[in-house]
Amino acid sequence: SIYEMFGHECSLSTEEVIKVIGFKINKLIASICENNEVSEFSAKVELPLNFPGLYKVVADKAPYVSIEEIVRKVSIGPTRFGHPCFYSAKDIKLANFTIKHDEKITFNSVEEVHGTMAVNCVVVRNNQSHSFTLPLSQEGEFYECEDDQIYTLKEIAEWKIPKCRNRIVKLSNALHMWESSSPLPENFDGCLILMPVYEVQAVMKSQKDIVRILSDLDVEVKDVTDCYDISSFLQPLSLEDIFERTSKEFPMVAEIIEGPSGSQKPYNLLSTGKEIVIYKKYQAARVLASEMRSDSSKRHYLIPMSYKGKFKRRPREFPTAYDLEIAKSEKEHLHVVATKAFTSPHKEFFSVSVGDQFLVQQSQTSEVLYEGRKKLIDVLACEQILSDSYKKVLLPMYMEGGFVEVIHDKKQYYLSEICKEFRLPFNVKVSVRDLSIEKDVLAAAPGLQFEEEITDSYLLISSASSPVESWEIPVYRLNMLVHLLSKDVQTVVPPATRTTVEEVSEEEYCMLRRYENLTLRPPPRPPKKPT
């Protein structure tokens, strides 16, 4: 059988033995739906997995009849995507625990417990997590919980489409425009029914290339697993597969089967066929930073704590008095200039003019007379800076004005010092570039806003042939496949780690902000104007 795949003609000969290593969704067929049903007038459109946008998953209304069916059809894994949530239509009584009907059950992992396959689960009651296991044999009526997170199409294809089921999604954020004409209607913001088209991933005997075969290829095959020695086949592994290995298995030598795309170091060094040493896996801190630009072309970076450049402070902007309260610190008085006027409806509060300068003190409450009744209002105590004195004033927290910070601090800071001494977000400009980096992209930025500190998963690698330096590569943002070699690692201690500032795309930036923000408690809304 001869077929074409990605512009290359391939052939499968009669009696050729292939090892199937996985199934993967290759593309999605989408239909516009109304009331969770496909419209009879709706045309089907083909969507590639990199089609832009963020989507919400609509919970499947069809029940699952057992835990075994959920495990068989739904992706459960170690990443943040692989923790699906279900509820039972009836109470489930365990040995020392009862799961109430309609209670949200999070499925974390599948493992063997006392000789029986089971799912490790968690329910949260009164802010307390309760862990337990459910055997695959547990029967019942289980429904998907509503999911308030947002995903790319690629993430939905990899984690959120159950086997043998379609998936309804709702467009949440269109992100950037599609390069060619969009297959969806203009300004579309409705629901889509996604039908996956799969490809079979396979390897041939003694070959390193991965063969991808569309599932609709007309070819007959026979299962010979039980009567064939599969040791002659390679076992391709993703970076996620490597990261799931135990720490005792490191270091290891691997050959790259499929290298990542990109000209940025070290990705341009990770070419197909190259041998690398993978020394260890770990979690590492990064600061997520964005260029300070008024246009939409701002770039985003992940900066490691090992960055050796220095920064000078840049003024921050604050839209409300409440933002001043969040930004103030005990280290120094926050000095600001008003950029927008505010007329107070109460004589107890100060009316602000453009150009007024203040030193922010502390938050407190103040009593005002409102429509004949006394009310307590949250306020910010400040000192207005006059030509030769200071005047104590109160600004209501609900005040929508505008302030710009006045910087008196001329000190130069390392990244780690900023994270230790100041609260993010924080505005800076590179004053001394990192000389250990061949091209320090941060130095060219007109200004940077450090938005938040995040933690991510990394592998430490070096070239196997010339291990003069090592690199940290991100596990979940780098698509590459390797296979392990049975070679001894010459040097167990990794060479010096080269600092890498990673530029992330707009889509990756949205992903990072989205997941990190879910782990943080959102700040309370600014107090509203009394009504």
Residue 398 has pLDDT above 70, yes or no: yes
Stronger pLDDT, 39 or 321, i.e. the higher one: 321
Comparing C-alpha atoms, which of 211, 304, 260 is closest to residue 497? Answer: 304
- What is the rounded average pLDDT of the residues 45-62? 87
Provide CB contacts within 8 A for 336, sequence distance 6+: 318, 324, 357, 358, 360, 403, 404, 405, 406
Residue 462 has pLDDT above 70, yes or no: yes
Confidence band for 330, pLDDT divided at 50, 70 and 90: confident
- What is the rounded average pLDDT of the residues 272-291? 92
- What is the rounded average pLDDT of the residues 138-154? 90
Confidence band for 296, pLDDT divided at 50, 70 and 90: low
Tell me, what's the pLDDT at 518? 42
Tokens of 445: 């930025």
Tokens of 271: 């070419």
Q: Walk me through the domains of the chain, giving residue ranges and CATH numbers.
A: 22-198 (no CATH), 236-314+408-522 (no CATH), 317-405 (2.30.30.40)
Give CA separation, 523 vs 46, 330, 428, 517, in Å.
41, 19, 23, 11
Angle at 87 between CA 84 and CA 91, to 5 degrees: 145
Per-residue pLDDT tens digits for 112-127: 888 888 999 999 998 8
Stronger pLDDT, 11 or 409, i.e. the higher one: 409
Tell me, what's the pLDDT at 520? 39
Residue 529 has pLDDT above 90, yes or no: no
Give CA separation, 108 vs 23, 66, 82, 397, in Å.
22, 16, 7, 42
**Least confident among 13-27, 144-158, 316-330:** 13-27
Tokens of 107: 């499925």
Per-residue pLDDT tens digits for 474-494: 998 888 889 888 888 777 788
Tokens of 429: 């400009």
Tell me, what's the pLDDT at 523? 42
Residue 87 has pLDDT above 90, yes or no: yes
Confidence band for 428, pLDDT divided at 50, 70 and 90: very high
Tell me, what's the pLDDT at 272? 86
Strands (E), 114-209: 116-125, 128-135, 139-144, 150-151, 167-173, 191-204
- What is the rounded average pLDDT of the residues 211-226? 79
- Is the C-alpha dihedral spanning 152, 157, 161, 162 positive or negative? negative
3-state SS, one letter per residue, for 185-243: CCCCCCEEEEEEEEEEEEEECCCCCEEEEECCCCCCCCCCHHHCCHHHCCCCEEHHHHH
- What is the rounded average pLDDT of the residues 191-195? 89
Confidence band for 35, pLDDT divided at 50, 70 and 90: low
Confidence band for 6, pLDDT divided at 50, 70 and 90: very low
Confidence band for 240, pLDDT divided at 50, 70 and 90: confident
Per-residue pLDDT tens digits for 410-419: 999 999 999 9
